Amino acid sequence: MTTRIFGSGIKRREDPRLITGEALYTDDIKLPGVLHMAVVRSPYAHANIVSIDSAAAEAMEGVVAVYTSDDIGDGLAGLPTAWLIPDSDLKTPEHPALAKGKVRYVGDGVAIVLADDRYRAQDAADAVVVEYEELPAVIDPEEAAQEGAPLIHDDVEGNIAFRWAPFDKEASDKVFADADVVVSERILQQRLLPTAMEPRSAMAQYNAATAELTLWCTSQNPHIHRFIISAVTGLNENKVRVIAPEVGGGFGSKIPCYPDEALVSWAAIKLGVPVKWTETRSENYLITIHGRDHVQHVDMAASSDGKILGVRATVYAGMGGYLSTAAPGIPTILHGLLYVGPYTIDSVYCESIGVMTNGTPTDAYRGAGRPEATFLLERMVDNVAREIGMDPAEVRRKNLIPAFEDGYEVAAGLSYDSGDYPAAFEKALGMAGYGDFRRQQKSAMAEGRHLGIGVTAYTEMCGLGPSQVAGAVGFQGGLWESATVRVTPTGKVQALIGASPHGQGSETTLAQIIADELGFPVDDIEVIHGDTTETPMGWGTYGSRTTPVTGAALAVASQKLKEKARVLAAHLMEANVDDIEYADGSFSVKGSPDQAQSIQDVALMAHLAWNMPEGMDPGFEESQFYDPPNFVYPFGTHIAIVEVDAETGEIELQRYIAVDDCGPQINPEIVAGQIHGGVVQGVAQALCEGAVYDENGQLLTGTMMDYCMPKADMFPNFELGETVTPSPHHPIGVKGVGETGTIASTPTVYNAVLDALAPLGVKQLDMPLTSAKVWSAIQDANGGGS
Amino acid sequence: MWPNKFDYVRAGSVDEALSSITDDGKFLAGGHSLLPVMKLRLDAPEQLVDIGRIPELQGISANGGLTIGAAATHDAIASSADVQAMCSALASACGQVGDQGVRNFGTLGGNIAHADPASDPPTVLVACGATVNIQGADGARSVGAEDFFVDLFETALDDGELITSVSLPNCSDCQCAYVKFPHPASRYAIVGVAVCLKMDGGTCAQADVAVGGATVKAVKCAGAEAALAGTTLDDAALNAAAEAVKSDIADWLAGDIAYPESYRQQMAGVFLKRAVAAAQG
Ligand SMILES: Cc1cc2nc3c(=O)[nH]c(=O)nc-3n(C[C@H](O)[C@H](O)[C@H](O)COP(=O)(O)OP(=O)(O)OC[C@H]3O[C@@H](n4cnc5c(N)ncnc54)[C@H](O)[C@@H]3O)c2cc1C
């Protein structure tokens, strides 16, 4: 018997350094002689650059240089778009690191200033005089796709960057034509600002003698950053080292390679001194990618007794001024393929239109495409329920896919790995006391109080993913991971991974996997990540993939190493391998328990190599590449109970129940933490967050005075439950849990609020559901309580 | 994040502060309004005269009425037994400013000099008839709170003048309250209502009402006061006052993208009722 640390909620080993402020972030790294870069940014959303006069700035104290795109010339290639979705007539307009002749969103870089001090750099940036000829701007993606809209890129006709519609339209149309019931809604997925706690930062150092560039930057995927920086600077990839030190959250916003990282690299090469740039929070809101931004026209077809027959949507997805690194894949592959959800829906259709606008570029934001799919599905299920007069929970129950253990093909083309949706669903309904609630709701209404309940059943696709699929859908990379498990002569473990966690607690979780598979105490295991020179290749931390994919690589590497140890132990104890027994980090010979070798002893002997079995190499280290055979599909049911104050329109979230199934939980505390954070982020989309532009493309929510981040006192204690359905194709059965909370919670709370408002006659509202909007809607519906 | 260059002087006395300040200079108290705008480069004073540690500006004294030093922090005011006894609405308002960190640094003088329309303390000062005591190079003067607040971020202060203290009458025989509807993003007031009721048995002999947050400055609401005075504060009176307060503030409305003027105006009525209930509770 072996004691397992799998399943134990040990404390996050990351926390002491994070909580005490000892963690080392990019901006904390100080190099002698560093120059500070400030970027002159466009105050206009759309304008021609008439002239740039940097003379005054260049003359200022401490200023070393001011550069524009003319100075860079072909010193930097344009930033690539790395998700080239097929069969969509994709256009990838040039994205220069500094604007060439034209700016396309507020914050687009126009010039850079390099100075010996950050304050002086900013002073000089303010002194650069740029003359603009303002052009009409367009922010709404549906408007931008209409004829006559301002043209943003000459080579992107009609502002349409792609049109992706892989499903059979005729078949879908027929389902809708024949259906008893069709419900329709125009849904806005508002723009969201990812707001990682640490803003972005980059510092580059170039050694002319070795021709090597080191770039420290806030990255979720340093190996992808290295690949792109190599491509844009022209340096060989083996001469570029990218280091992501501590990274303070990303939520997707630190996946892309931005102009700023390219610019510090170029300037460091040009000037031969290190160059650093750290964005301010205001800059972060203007230039770091935004999430969502869909206008969705959605229909759902159903029979009059509540069987869902089909779903279809036309989605205008705002791409912003340029196509960010992974942008085209988000509203397409990660969105339209999810339209079946956990239901037996036989017909899906999605036309996703990627539209250039004069907003900040959009890209993956926690959930990335899947929250937008889950929302529309769950919203429409509630609409069907209302239309046919059936309880929304009953409609869901009727349509859930029955339990399956190994593979279930859905109409959208995916093959779900495993699931027991009804079990999670019934468990959540039980925890919420659903039936009782409906009675309470009625009696509260008699007292003039407006309670509502929202139920979301979801499944999502994560643990990205099989590389062959990545290739087939145009992702310009693989989606495998690699890892090395290295044991030192004194029996301590270093696990080197290509992925790059940034706050998730993966150092703890992954150490738990190794501890179980290899038999070392968890505290003797270090997980090392973030440096392209130290770590093996990997594609990064996003898409809820680090535990499923890197975790699998580590599990297999550890298993291989343990097998080596078993053979060596047998040799050292002069026993037959088949007679070796293993328990709790120690090998012994069957029948003679006094003869034992600890795994540490074996590791030492492997290093010394004094007495190896025939054909066995010395050393105690294994590497493993792991390419998942399929995605993993976590699932669950979330329920929210809200009360709306009809006098003010305020919403109180009274209860939040989340039953999630991510397979066996390695560390339940960390799983709970991921769900808590995800739920908060998703609820915030429903209730308070939303980036707003004016008609000229100025971001009105440019600071947290206006952009409403969620706050702890908005939330009740979450009631978490779980079911455990292992993934059949994963070495240790685990699924991802990084995005589930965000994916499930937005429609849950939205539907709860609309449930509360239904008796007042309010049927639809755009997110976020601010009190002002709710109150006005109540007034308009004429059912107001005030 | 990166303010423009400025000189810094720490003053040891009011006289030193008044003689040090230059034309392009500003007084610095807690810095919790001034430094954020400087970091955003929305303001760029060339000199800061730090008045935060001047002994004459500290302290809260109770002598018939209240005198609160300009550099008293929100936290000091909220936790002062004298303020709680003589003007509980002010203690409540200061206790609802920002978070604990803000309350430990932000001062009453800085708050009212900055005159942010969504601030909390000014609404109480206007309702309760406070007086702002000011010192300039040419001597001292006092201005009633209602006249002190002129418009959005605009007060009766002249350049180079320093607020030394704020005086308030003793309201310990009133029922007073400050009720705030916090903005979900900033936690400043969407609307804040201060009421101070003098009760004579079950009848309201006199009502003082002011509204902030919904308005460009804290506004004294004569219509609402008249609707409450002489009544038993029954539902009819409250409804009438809630209607009246909307007219009282109609010329001064303020709003933002998420919470427009019209909504805030309506909410002033709702929160007036809640403030009366809180005062009576
Ligand atoms: C995160 C945050 C949240 C906040 N939330 C709230 C809130 O909910 N409600 C609220 O009411 N306020 C809020 N505030 C503002 C807070 O109350 C400020 O502290 C206050 O408005 C300014 O006081 P100060 O001492 O910091 O002034 P400073 O920032 O130092 O100065 C502000 C202005 O007043 C001038 N000044 C300062 N003292 C004097 C004086 N004695 N005489 C003349 N001029 C003077 C300065 O020159 C400057 O122009 C918040 C602030 C922050 C940072």
Which tokens is A75 given? 């010193």
Instruction: Check whether residue A416 and residue A305 sit in a common domain.
Output: yes
- Does the CB atom of residue B128 touch ligand 1 within 6 A? no
Structure tokens at A240: 């570029």
Q: Beta strands of A546-665 (E only): which ranges?
A: 580-583, 586-589, 592-598, 621-626, 635-645, 650-661
CA of B163 to the centre of ligand 1 (A): 13
* Confidence category of residue A594, pLDDT binned at 50, 70, 90: confident
Calculate the alpha carbon distances from A703 to A192, A692, A708, B185 in Å.
13, 11, 9, 9
Domain with CATH 3.30.43.10 in chain B: 7-50
pLDDT for the residue A782: 74
For helices A222-233 and A259-271, what crossing angle results, to 10°? 60
Q: Please tell me the distance between residue B68's alpha carbon and the centre of ligand 1 in angstroms.
A: 15
Instruction: Determine the distance separating the centroid of ligand 1 and the alpha carbon of B266, expressed in angstroms.
Output: 28
B234-242 average pLDDT score = 98
The CA distances from residue A786 to A36, A778, A780, A783, B191, in Å, are 56, 9, 12, 9, 17
CATH of domain B175-279: 3.30.390.50
Instruction: At A144, give phi and psi (nearest 5°).
Output: -65, -20
In terms of Cα–Cα distance, which of A297, A401, A394, A395 is closest to A342? A401
CB-count exposure of residue A592 (10 Å: 0-12, 13-18, 19+): exposed
Q: Is the pLDDT of residue A652 over 60?
A: yes
| Judgement on whether residues A309 and A345 belong to the same structural domain of the protein | yes
B27 and B162 in contact (C-beta within 8 Å)? Answer: yes
Which residue owns the Cα nearest ligand 1 atom 36?
Answer: B110
Residues of chain B with CATH 3.30.465.10: 55-168
Cα B251 to Cα B264: distance, rounded to the nearest angstrom: 13
Q: What is the CATH number of the domain that holds A348?
A: 3.30.365.10
- Measured in angstroms, how far is the CA atom of residue B241 from the centroid of ligand 1? 32
Q: Other CB atoms closer than 10 Å to residue A448's CB: what's the count? A: 9
**Residue-level pLDDT at B1:** 83
Helices (H) and strands (E) in chain B, counts: 12, 14
pLDDT band at A4 (very low <50, low <70, confident <90, very high): confident
State the span(s) of chain B assigned CATH 3.30.390.50.
175-279
Portion of chain A with pLDDT greater than 90, in percent: 98
Query: A234: domain CATH number?
Result: 3.90.1170.50
Question: A723 and chain B: CB distance < 8 Å anywhere?
Answer: no
Strands of A193-322 (E only): list them. Answer: 201-207, 212-217, 240-243, 275-278, 291-302, 308-320
Q: Does residue A783 register a pLDDT over 60? A: no
Contact A99, A294 (CB under 8 A): no
* R_g (Cα) of chain B, nearest Å: 19
The SS3 call for residue A672 is helix
Hey, is the C-beta of A708 within 8 angstroms of any chain B C-beta? yes
Decide which of A583, A609, A626 is a domain's last residue: A626
DSSP H helix total and E strand total for chain A: 20, 28
Of B111, B104, B166, B108, the C-alpha closest to B135 is B166
Is residue A784's pLDDT more than 70? no
Nearest to B2 among A118, A692, A709 (CB): A118
| Residues of chain B contacting A711 with CB distance shorter than 8 Å | 184, 187
* A785 pLDDT above the threshold of 70: no
pLDDT tens digit sequence for A257-266: 999 999 999 9
Same domain, A456 and A488: no
Q: How far is CA A503 from CA A195, A245, A246, B94, in A?
A: 14, 12, 8, 36
pLDDT category at A32 given cuts 50, 70, 90 is: very high
- Give pLDDT tens digits for B86-135: 999 999 999 999 999 999 999 999 999 999 999 999 999 999 999 999 99
Residue A523 pLDDT grade (very low, low, confident, very high; cuts 50, 70, 90):
very high
**pLDDT at residue A3 is higher than 90:** no
Tell me, yes or no, whether A473 lies in a domain. no
Same domain, A301 and A447: yes
- From chain A, the residues in CB contact with B257 under 8 A are 692, 700-701, 706
Q: With respect to residue A146, please indicate whether it lies within any of the assigned structural domains.
A: no
CA distance linking residue A271 with residue A267, whole number of Å: 6
Report residue A2's pLDDT band, with 50, 70 and 90 as the boundaries.
Answer: low
Contact A688 B184 (CB under 8 A): yes
CB A111 within 8 A of CB A128: yes
CB B76 within 8 A of CB B37: no
The DSSP symbol for A550 reads I
**CB A122 to CB B2 under 8 A?**
yes
pLDDT confidence of A626, banded at 50, 70, 90? very high
With a cut of 90, say whether residue B250 has pLDDT above it. yes
Strands A592-598 and A621-626, by their bridges, are unpaired
Interstrand relation of A212-217 and A201-207 (parallel, antiparallel or unpaired): antiparallel
A578 within a domain of the structure (yes/no): yes
CB of B98 sitting under 6 A from ligand 1: yes
Cβ contact A786–B185 (<8 Å) = no
Q: How many domains does chain A have?
A: 3
Assign a CATH topology to domain B7-50: 3.30.43
A76 and A218 share one domain: yes
* Partner B contacted by A211 (CB < 8 A): no
Residue B227 pLDDT class (50, 70, 90 cuts): very high
How many angstroms separate the Cα of A751 from the Cα of each of A19, A121, A376, A451?
Answer: 36, 49, 11, 12
CA distance A323 to A259: 12
For domain B55-168, give the fold.
3.30.465
Identity of the residue in A282, A704, A776 whose CB atom sits nearest the CB atom of B40:
A282
Q: Identify the helix (H) or strand (E) that includes residue A682.
A: helix A668-687
The tokens for A342 are: 């956990």
For residue B114, count CB atoms less than 10 angstroms from its CB and return exposed for 0-12, middle for 13-18, buried for 19 or more.
middle
Shared domain for A233 and A110, answered yes or no, is yes
Residues of chain B with Cβ-Cβ distance to A122 below 8 Å are 2, 41
Q: Ligand 1 centroid to B169 CA: how many Å?
A: 23
Name the β-bridge partners of A360: none
Residue of chain B nearest A701, judged by CA positions: B257
Given this model, what pLDDT does residue A153 score? 98
> Is any ligand 1 atom within 6 A of the Cβ of residue B33?
yes
- ipTM, 2 dp: 0.96
Mean pLDDT of chain A: 97
Q: Please tell me whether residues A22 and A86 are part of one structural domain.
A: yes
Burial class (CB in 10 A: 0-12, 13-18, 19+), B98: middle
Q: Is A386 on the interface with B (CB under 8 A)?
A: no
- The DSSP H or E segment spanning A354 is strand A347-356
The minimum-distance atom of ligand 1 relative to the CA of B57 is 41
Residue A422 clears pLDDT 80, i.e. is over it: yes
Confidence check: pLDDT of A786 > 50: no
Range of the domain at A239: 17-135+197-249+254-287
Tell me which DSSP letter residue B133 carries: E
Distance CA B25, CA B49 (A): 7
Among B253, B252, B124, B99, which Cα is nearest to B193's? B124
Q: Are residues A507 and A459 in the same domain?
A: no
Angle among Cα A591, A593, A594 to the nearest 5 degrees reads: 130
Classify the C-alpha dihedral A391-A392-A393-A395 as positive or negative: positive
A621 and A647 belong to one structural domain: no
CB atoms within 10 A of CB B199: 17
